[in-house]
Structure 1
Amino acid sequence: MLRRKDDPRSHFTYLITGVFASLLLVSLSSPLQAQTTTHGDSSLILIRDLYEQGSYLSSEIEARRFLESRRVSDSLKILAEQYLAFSLVAQGKNILAAEHFMAILKIDSAFTLHPTLTSPKILAVFDHARQQFRSLKRSEPTSSPVGPLSQVPSPSFRTVLFPGWEQIHQGRDTKGYVLLAAGILSLGSTLYLDIERRRAEDEYHAADTPELAASRYDRYNRYYRAEYYSLAAFLVIYLYSQFDAFFDLPPSSSAVTLQSGSNLQLTLRVTF
């Protein structure tokens, strides 16, 4: 069966089509964004005009509708909240107006009103809201830094990989490195003794005299027993490391205190 060769012109056609599609999406998205911004500006103009005309209730309703009907930028939201608060003050709803001033301060804590262009009544409500906002900020609990000794990370996958790794991750470096070194030494010894045991076993089977076989068997038996104890030591270290990662088993620290006759006391403590 003959295979049809790819036509380079088809790849070029796909490339051109993709470029034009991207340009089309960009050209369509830009007017859409501009339309959204223009609609938001026109809504704010309507809210402002209603407020300046004295239609405070209508201005309040349009501002609430503007804030609830769409997601707007922080700058537009601040303007809408501002005219909403102004309209509420004009209606004598100072408590509700203060809540919307605080909503503005949550977005921009440095927000201020012009002292000469804003009515004293609105300024008084805004100052009261700003004092409430600052008192709430001061009363918020501050999180204090927690040191590695007061908060130990929970054990993770490092626990099952190798002895000592999880202890090092928890910040208990002394115990971690001791367990890590002991694990490496015992496991390395087990692997070395296993190789030597297999070699001694092969030599034992290759012995051609009873005397040589007995001698080589003793050598094989020594490696076998040493490998057994080395592996047992590694398993003990491994299991100890597993439980210690969860329960912080002893030894946890070791202290030596020296005291002289002049009430001079020196304490040396090694933390595991």
Structure 2
Amino acid sequence: MSGKRRIVFGLLVLFSALHAQPQQNRASQVKQLYESLQFEQAIQLSQRLLRDDTITNPQDLITIHQYAGFSFFNLGRPDSAKKHFLTILSIDPEYEFNPVNTSPKIITFFKKIKEKYQINRDTDRQVAYVRYVFVRDLRPGATWRSALLPGWGQYFKGQKNKGKILSSSFAGGALLTITSYLLERNYHQKYRDATSQSEIQKNYDAYNRWYKARHYAMYFTAAVWTISVLDAIWAPYSSTALTLNWQGDGMLSLRISF
């Protein structure tokens, strides 16, 4: 790897780390307040963070809900703690608290909630603090698919008509490129083998014509590939509509994580 590439790669890694650090620090602040026995402050901070739509990482959300629930439990408010624990289970139904740094009373309380949750999960009778709907971003998957085969990424995003146009255009451009190349080679050989002036000129003109056609076809094919990849990265797409009938004092939160 060259020096410039190392610098660019290092900057990208640094940017990613700096971008992720604030959210991780904010989530861990709730834990720090809980561990310093500042339960009310931990609850207040968790409520502020949960209103922040920029926190989309499931693990960060679990951390916030976990220590908010711990704080409520230690303040003698098990019903409020239960809502946060149910929210954790709605994100990760198999989640377990670390027994090394978690009170046995909380673990026992959580296990009872988890057992009931596993039974009633399908009927959705229990009210969590918040229910999250994590929407999968299709663009990364669409991008590498379009890079392999233009139009495939658009099919992946549900844009079938666009996918057909791009895939057929790429296939047509690739076929024309190959055909032009073969004819170019054929007429180039005929041009080299020709002996009369008329045959030389005739074969040279044909060779030159297919030489230009091959380059035009190559440019067209490359343009289709580029358009397909850029479209997969940037173009918006429609997602499935979600309708929920909600009862109780919970709330629904839609988090889109890219």
TM range (shorter): 0.3 to 0.5
Q: TM-score scaled by structure 2?
A: 0.43
Structure number, greater radius of gyration: 1
Q: Whose relative contact order is higher, 1 or 2, with alpha carbons under 8 Å and at least 6 apart?
A: 2
